[in-house]
Amino acid sequence: MKLRCGAWLKQMLLSFCIALTSCQSRHGDTGPSIEFSKIPPAAQGGRERVDTIAGRVKNPRPGQSYHPPPTIEVAPTVGGSVALVRIVKGVGSLPPLPTRPLRFSGYDWEIHTSSQTRGGLNNLYDADNVWSDASGALHLRITKKSDKWTCAHVMLTRSLGYGTYTFVVRDTSHLEPAAILSMHTYDRWGGDQHFREMNIEIGRWGDATSKDNAQYSIQPFYVPGNISQFTEPGGTLTHTLLWESGRASFKTVRGSSMRPVAPMIHQHIFTSGVPTPGQELLELMLYIVASDRYPLQKDAEVVIEKFEYLP
């Protein structure tokens, strides 16, 4: 029996497992074993790092079959339905992902150019889709190259931790249902805290009939209460995340400042499951989600006038 599966390189340790069923072997003296034929390099990995693990199971019992989930954060252990685990170290190393430097709002950023699975699609990121103009505003674009959609991905070069994150964003009402603007924290080493991901996201997630076109969230998104959806109007808006110990407070107002008299659009406070600081970085992404009914039809562009952080 040959096993072959894609795996996240989240750890330097990789494993295969065999599920234990109620079937009993008549040859109890010979137990199953696992032999690897392909081991990816050792690397921290992340959503953009995928590779193949291949190997062979010897002497399995009739009826034994293991069906791993699409992704796992930690290796399984022997017990219950798992009869055997073999762990080996990855070999070699991976080169750093290609990036391009960017200066925006007084901070150093990196423009990422690798592909990444997000929103049910393998999005391709192109450095030509990110630039700052003469006024200092940041432009993120989706456009076609060689008949393929390419998107925009920017990441801050250092962690900021607790504090107030403010984004001034020009009108996004023109975005098609399949286009998503995401401004979020992400820690590729923070699997134990759901990667410390907290999101401000603009878009309809591929559904043109949805009245909601924006949301705040903390991860995991499928936990009840971890998403707050709302309808944002056209025009320039200011989005804010205040991250404190045990508390993540989100707010969106009209205009390009957080003055007390600014008209409120929506606000929400999360007090359960809020991560603590680690090695999270701020990410800005304009990407495409899978949508059979409303696939992307034309280029898209979003302008973020400024980003501000206050500790």
Q: What is the pLDDT of residues 212-239, one digit of tens each?
A: 999 999 999 999 999 999 999 999 999 9
Is residue 32 over pLDDT 50? yes
pLDDT band at residue 47 using 50, 70 and 90 as cut-offs: low
Average pLDDT over residues 73-98: 75
- Residue predicted with more confidence, 7 or 140: 140
Please tell me the distance from the alpha carbon of residue 102 to that of residue 7, in angstroms, as a whole number.
31
Please tell me the distance from the alpha carbon of residue 276 to that of residue 132, in angstroms, as a whole number.
31
Percent of the chain's residues with pLDDT above 70 = 83
Is residue 3 over pLDDT 80? no
pLDDT value of residue 49: 55
Buried b (16+ CB within 10 A) or exposed e, 74-95: eebeeeeeebbeeeeebeeeee
Buried b (16+ CB within 10 A) or exposed e, 111-148: bbbebbebbebebbbbbebbeeeeeebbbbbbeeeeee
Is residue 25 over pLDDT 80? no
pLDDT value of residue 260: 73
pLDDT value of residue 85: 82
- Residue predicted with more confidence, 37 or 206: 206
pLDDT value of residue 101: 98
pLDDT value of residue 122: 92
pLDDT value of residue 24: 41
Tell me the pLDDT of the chain averaged across its residues. Answer: 86
What domains are there in the chain, each with its CATH number? 2-89 (no CATH), 99-310 (2.60.120.200)
Average pLDDT over residues 251-261: 87
Supply the DSSP string of 173-225, one letter for each residue. Answer: TT--TTEEEEEEEE-TT-GGGGGG-EEEEES-TT-TT-S--EEEEESSTTSTT
Prediction pTM value: 0.76
When mean pLDDT is compared over 40-49, 76-85, 189-198, the highest value belongs to 189-198
Q: What is the DSSP letter of 135?
A: T
pLDDT value of residue 45: 52
pLDDT value of residue 162: 98
Average pLDDT over residues 80-85: 77
Bridge pairing between strands 13-19 and 82-89 = antiparallel
Please tell me the distance from the alpha carbon of residue 184 to that of residue 175, in angstroms, as a whole number.
19
